Amino acid sequence: MSNHRVASRYAKSLLELSIEQGILEEVYADFQSLAAMGKANRELGLVLSNPVLTSDKKLKVLKALFAKGASKLTLPFFEIVSRKNRENILLDIAKELVAQYNLHKSIQVAEVTTTSALTEEQRKQLVEVVKSISGMKEVQLEEKINPSLIGGFILKVNDRQLDESLSSKLKALRVQFSQNHYEKQF
């Protein structure tokens, strides 16, 4: 079975259990921070997937990271995953739990890349566009700045991408002008 499917099943179980116990927000915060740690620190992923290190050592690392303020479900979950020797998919579980939480709360995460910071009016317009595309009630915009776009924006919602940047339009024009439609080709 693929790591994604296994991670998805663990995340779903954890999400349902945390809803049942009424501590969904605390568990979500823990796994959101775990996903952020994994993204910011490559070594954490390497430690968790290292076959030479024992499960006990990996569990000690996780307990040290979440010693303060972890929910009452997080550390026992880490122990269960450690007992099953599945530490290598913990970061995938964290990402999947965040995605399932967003789906449960009807939150759409969208990424917008612009040449400069968005104004409040532009942000509101993009939120409305994302709501109409996704049908979700709430939108979280992840804003990125890329001056090489020259102007416009690139909006990514799930697997859709709306590219309204000047750089992509210039590339399309360049391709169009490179084809000479008036010359007979043999």
Tell me if 157 sits within 8 A of 130, measured CB to CB: yes
User: Structure tokens of 104?
Assistant: 């449960």
Tell me if 81 sits within 8 A of 56, measured CB to CB: no
Tell me if 134 sits within 8 A of 157, measured CB to CB: yes
Confidence check: pLDDT of 183 > 80: no
pLDDT value of position 123: 96
pLDDT value of position 74: 96
Q: What is the mean pLDDT of residues 110-124?
A: 96
Strand pairing partners for 162? 155
CATH number for region 3-102: 1.10.520
Domain ranges for the chain, please list them.
Answer: 3-102, 106-178
Q: Find tokens 């969904």 and name the residue.
A: 24
pLDDT in tens, 73-89: 999 999 999 999 999 99
